[in-house]
Amino acid sequence: MAIITVREALNSAFKEEMRDDPTVITLGCDIGVRGGPFGITLDLMKLYGKDRVIDTPISESSFVGAGIGAAATGLRPVVEVLYSDWITLGMDQLVNMAAKMRYMFGGKVNLPLVVRAPFGSGGGIAAQHSQSFEAWFNHVPGFKIVAPIEPYDVKGMLKEAIRDDNPVIYFEHKRSYAVEGEVPDGAEGESYTVPFGKAAVRREGTDVTIIAYSMMALRAKEAAEQLASEGVSCEVIDLRSLLPLDYETVMESIAKTNRVVVCQEANLRGGLAGDIVAEIIDRGFDLLDAPPVRVGALNVPTPYNKGLEELCIPGTENIKAAVKRALSDE
């Protein structure tokens, strides 16, 4: 096993998939010569040429549409939207075309499109660069949605997404690229993938189930470790895959703990946490000894000021408070 960063895990997945499959291409702003602002596609143009690593104009509507056309005609494009905030500019193509084409053509057209969408807040990048839109795509039939945070999952899920014949929205947290973790090296590292629809239990516990994804999964682990010193045993589930979502693992955990906290970094109103809570109630209301508790950002645009941003965006302390609230409802 090797210790690598999320940035290195993504770059490694790209190199292996592009080496093994000549139909894999990638396109987006500054991803070629520059290697992307986050360094994810570094050296890809040198290795695979400008016909497969395509620097595009600053026009998300055009290169998202180009990616959809490429997918429908035999290629496996990975489109990078530099900040997921700007995925709004390609929403017509994604929602009305990409999500529906395979269905509307009776399965005769595959659409192996991956849209990499760095999302989330932190670092004082203000209201137009800090948003999380995963709930929007969860509402649209036809997509698969993933949001891994550990380097092992980041690499394995990108490889899985590239090989999938359906459109995948691949959310990466903007502040995660330096996160380190173990990833297999050698032949095993090149061959493994992480399947969609299977959550990971990051910590076992008996008192409360904490469900989270992306950066909030890391915060949930931190909260669980701190609460353990207070005698509270939390089970932490990192969803990794948002659509499909592993409700089997979720409900097995709730059957054990009988209490649940669901965390998202996105604005709380209309978010994925609310949908997950509704599904939990439908599947196992009688398992709950207390009302589910949601954790999310305040329903305001993200401030530029870092102090104000910290007040708006949930973190470890918010999760700890939510766990205590869940335990207080006897």
Is the previous residue joined to 244 through a cis bond, with omega within 30 degrees of 0?
yes
Extract long-range pairs of 269-274: CB within 8 Å, 24+ residues apart.
Answer: 269/296, 269/299, 270/135, 271/135, 271/296, 272/134, 272/135, 272/138, 272/242
Which helix (H) or strand (E) covers residue 292, if one does? none
Beta bridge partners of 235: 209
Question: Residue 39 carries which DSSP code?
Answer: S
Neighbours of 70 (CB within 10 A): 20
The tokens describing 34, both together, are 């520059």
36: left (phi over 0), alpha (psi -120 to 50) or beta: left
Rounded to whole angstroms, the Cα distance separating 54 from 27 reads 5
Amino acid at 158: L
Q: How many Å apart are CA 208 and CA 202, to the nearest integer? A: 14
Name the active-site residue from 52, 116, 129, 320.
129
Q: Can 129 be counted among the known catalytic residues?
A: yes
Q: Catalytic site residues?
A: 129
